[in-house]
Amino acid sequence: MDLAYLARADGDDLILQVISGAGGQFGLAPGVRVRPDPRFYLTLLAGTLPKVITATRCNQHMIDAPVVEKLNIGCYAATVVTDRDGEVFGILGCISRDPRPDLRERDSRFLGLVASYLSDAVIDLHRIWEAHSQVWRSISRMIDAGGPEIVYQPVVDLATGRIAAVEALSRFPCEPREPPRGPRGWYSDATTVGLSAELELAAIRRALRALPQLPAAVYLEPVLNLDRVYIVCTE
């Protein structure tokens, strides 16, 4: 198969937790949210959908499913992963571009074996997911609210007394019921949950608001370095 994945159920969506294989061919990566077709998703959860479908375009459940067309899936194998209490965690699956008529029932049993093994591990996955979700939400809220705050500090050339640069420092709110993490902690957490680019761009955009207040002949070069943006001023 071209790609194997473990996806967490989140309402009507599946959120990819782990992938192995050619994720780029399908436009998939950890953290991507996929909306499965309700028809075969519900039958998969109910245990009435075959775990292995060797040719999706010849199967009544998947022949016209939007996600099959969008990702160009030719073959599909999946099983439900539950925790030790029997609650659904998500889906363990494999997909391939081409049909795979060589797949047999024993392949579905192997998937079931792996899913049973994962039942003990998903407790930790639940905790990791909840922790990551909380961090993602706090960073997203802060960006949507217009953060981070920027404070400006001049950098003076001691030889001439001239302001050589303006240092723009990121400042972040203190989250209630959370220990302080400082600017480096915010940027590190943003990298962990895939919001690094969004946070960096938000900081740069806010830092560049100082541009109209600087001399007209000043050249600005914003460079992000974890907790600060350097706006280098040159005549």
CA–CA distance, 38 with 64 (Å, rounded to integer): 12
Handedness of CA 127, 129, 133, 139 (dihedral sign): positive
pTM: 0.53
Could you tell me which residues are beta bridge partners of residue 165?
Answer: 155, 232
Tell me the residue type at 140: S
Token digits of residue 112: 């079931």
231 with 209: CB under 8 angstroms? no
Handedness of CA 180, 184, 188, 194 (dihedral sign): positive
Could you read off the pLDDT of 111-150 as tens digits, one per residue? 888 888 887 776 666 667 677 778 888 899 899 999 898 8
* Domains along the sequence of the chain with CATH: 3-133 (3.30.450.40), 146-233 (no CATH)
Q: Is pLDDT at 96 greater than 90 in this prediction?
A: yes
The angle subtended at Cα 83 by Cα 89 and Cα 31, nearest 5°, is 30
